[in-house]
A and B are shown apart, each in its own frame.
Chain A
Amino acid sequence: MSWAYGLLIGPFEMFGFMRTALVACLALALASGPVGTLLLLRRMSLEGDVLSHAVMPGAALGFLYAGYSFTALSVGGLLTGALVAVSAGLTARLQPKRKEASLAAFYLVSLALGVMIVSARGSNVDLTHVLFGTVLAVDMRGLLFIAAVSSVTLLVLAAIYRPLAVESFDPAFLRSIGAGGGLFRGIFLAAVVLNLVASFQAFGTLLAIGPMLLPAAAALCWTQRIWPTIALNIAIGMTADYAGLLTSYYANVPSGPAIVLAGGIIYGLSLIGAGRMRLDKRKAVEEVAQ
């Protein structure tokens, strides 16, 4: 047994940065559960992707201004994230039929702008850090920020869950009884941006949305009810975090991508597994019918 302990727990016992990374990832997974599930249910995964890139130019400006200062990166990212969230909403209203086109434009422009700003001062290593994150370099301050964001997200989403859910599937109803709904959509988008900024240091611009969407997609393969989906989503996210970190330790591969890849593998297995289960069920029903 001790060899298994050494294999599975050892790395986290031995290295502080592994522990911090694990705790940071677990905290992120906790908030990603509801955020990712709601993003998918509201069919907003593309919007999520756009917002994750929108964090980049601001973070890059922060980097230009103050180097690897956690505060500068976060404040910059928050600002451009919010800016793009608002302007994407406005353009979607102006051109409702070309919504994906304007979203894609935002996503490309943000990415290009971010890369140019980082390259203006930094090296290729800096660029890699901004794009793919450095989960092993999360420090105490970053950890506290992640924990705070995660706690606030859980509380806020729990409070506004009812109007948010109704707004997701029947927005006209809320408007017809004079209860609005735009306010709650705005709060939700703010929560998404906040979580992307928290996730940014760990996973980078290109992957920040990954740990949010992949576990949610995997969870939705197995259950259609909301609370089980969120709970399963959190569990899958945490499993992917743990497996990814271990893999990156032993195989000496970058940890952010390893975690996202682990999430992807779980999603693939869920697709196959849940598909087979459904097939078996249908067969059983057909046999009974005969």
Chain B
Amino acid sequence: MLRRARGVWAAGGHSGAIVQRFFDGGYRAAGSEQTAPPRQGASIEVKNLSIAYRDRPALSNLTGQFAAGSLTAVVGPNGAGKSSLIKALAGILPPRTGEIRSTAAVGEHFAYLPQQSELDRDFPITVGELVALGGWRSFGAFRRPPDTLTVRVADAMAASGLDGFGARRIADLSAGEFQRALFARLLVQDAAVVLLDEPFTAVDERTTDDLLQLVRRWHREGRTVIAALHDFDQVREHFPTTLLLARSCIGWGDTAAVLTTDNLMRARKMLQERPESRELE
């Protein structure tokens, strides 16, 4: 019965496809992708980008390019607009003015790591289920997950140090373990662009080291990685490119050239002059 219904659905042709997209936006049937996922070479260009968060300006007039395969840290004082920029790149926060252009489609080839505080960790699902969500495009809202997903989930969990955690509830995980689970979901997503919002906040040192390994692996594989961070030593050690924000761009380029005492002072001053922006993040 269900199978027949699905057949009718598929036979609906063009209108069927529209209905399907309306109800199941995140789904792409196997083979329906005209272009192979551009795992490498996805660059992002922003032009005069301004973002407002809850009607307050969070970031104004950012212009520049995240090169394909670059590993960029977005830094700046609290309220500088780091998180807003990551959200805008992920397509969650619409830009107020300006535009974001990429060689890869946002919904399809971008993976986004939210801040832990934005998730409800009491929700009763297991680690395995959470990680499997990374394969959403292969099953969408209604279809049965493909059998191959089990292997991909197990591999991702092993790579992020969560071997054997599949049946645990996310409520029982420590902050570090939970972050590992979210990274495993990113691994399953297998995206050309990886956007990380404060990935190491409230995470223990060992976990941070392990997860940094994954970030480096993505970089080696040629993916574009952009992370909002606040630990300057970490940025200097692991991130070749840095974007320093204070509600507008203070510096963007080689980490050593951007993270100068002078620039950091400027960034701090700019936000102190406009204290209302502190509430932003």
Contacts and interface: CB of A to CB of B under 8 A. Distances in A.
Interface of A: 41, 43, 96, 159-160, 162-163, 165-166, 168-170, 172-180, 183-184, 224-226, 229
B107 A165 contact: no
A184 B120 CA distance: 18
Interface in B167-197: 169, 171, 189
Q: Which of A172, A173, A226 has the most CB of B within 10 A?
A: A173
Given A168-B123, A178-B108, A224-B124, A173 B114 contact: yes
Contacts of A169: 119-121, 123, 125
A96 B54 contact: yes
B133 A224 contact: no
8 contacts: A41-B124, A162-B142, A170-B133, A173-B114, A176-B111, A177-B107, A178-B91, A178-B107
Contacts of B141: 160, 162-163, 179, 184
Nearest to A179: B26
Contacts of A180: 25-26
A210 B108 CA distance: 43
Contacts of A175: 90-92
Considering residues A159, A168, A176, A229, which has the most beta carbons from chain B within 10 angstroms of its beta carbon?
A176
Interface residues of B, number: 34
Interface string B138-171: 0011100000000000000000000000000101
A224 B169 contact: yes
Contacts of A41: 123-124
A178 B114 CA distance: 15
A168 B92 contact: no
B125 to A, nearest CB: 7
A176 B25 contact: no
Interface in B1-42: 22-27
B68 to A, nearest CB: 20
Given A179-B107, A225-B169, 11 more contacts: A41-B124, A166-B133, A168-B120, A170-B119, A176-B92, A177-B136, A177-B189, A178-B25, A178-B108, A180-B25, A226-B125
Contacts of A172: 87, 90, 92, 112, 114, 118
Task: Label chain A's interface by main secondary structure.
Answer: helix
B200 interface: no
A109 B123 CA distance: 33
Given A224-B124, A225-B124, A176 B110 contact: yes
Given A169-B125, A229-B124, A179 B140 contact: yes
A19 B119 CA distance: 45
A151 B111 CA distance: 38
A152 B217 CA distance: 48
B212 interface: no
B90 to A, nearest CB: 5
A177 B123 contact: no
A179 B134 CA distance: 13
Interface string B101-133: 000001110111010001111011100000001
B238 interface: no
Nearest to A96: B54
Contact of B112 (A43, A96, A176): A176
Interface in B201-224: none
A39 B91 CA distance: 28
A173 B24 contact: no
Contacts of B24: 179
Interface string B52-72: 001000000000000000000
Contact of B124 (A43, A159, A176, A226): A226
Contacts of A170: 114, 118-120, 133
A206 to B, nearest CB: 29
B137 interface: yes
Nearest to A95: B54
Contacts of B137: 177
A169 to B, nearest CB: 4
Nearest to B23: A183
B257 to A, nearest CB: 31
B93 to A, nearest CB: 9
A38 to B, nearest CB: 11
Contacts of A165: 123, 125
Nearest to A187: B23
Nearest to B169: A224
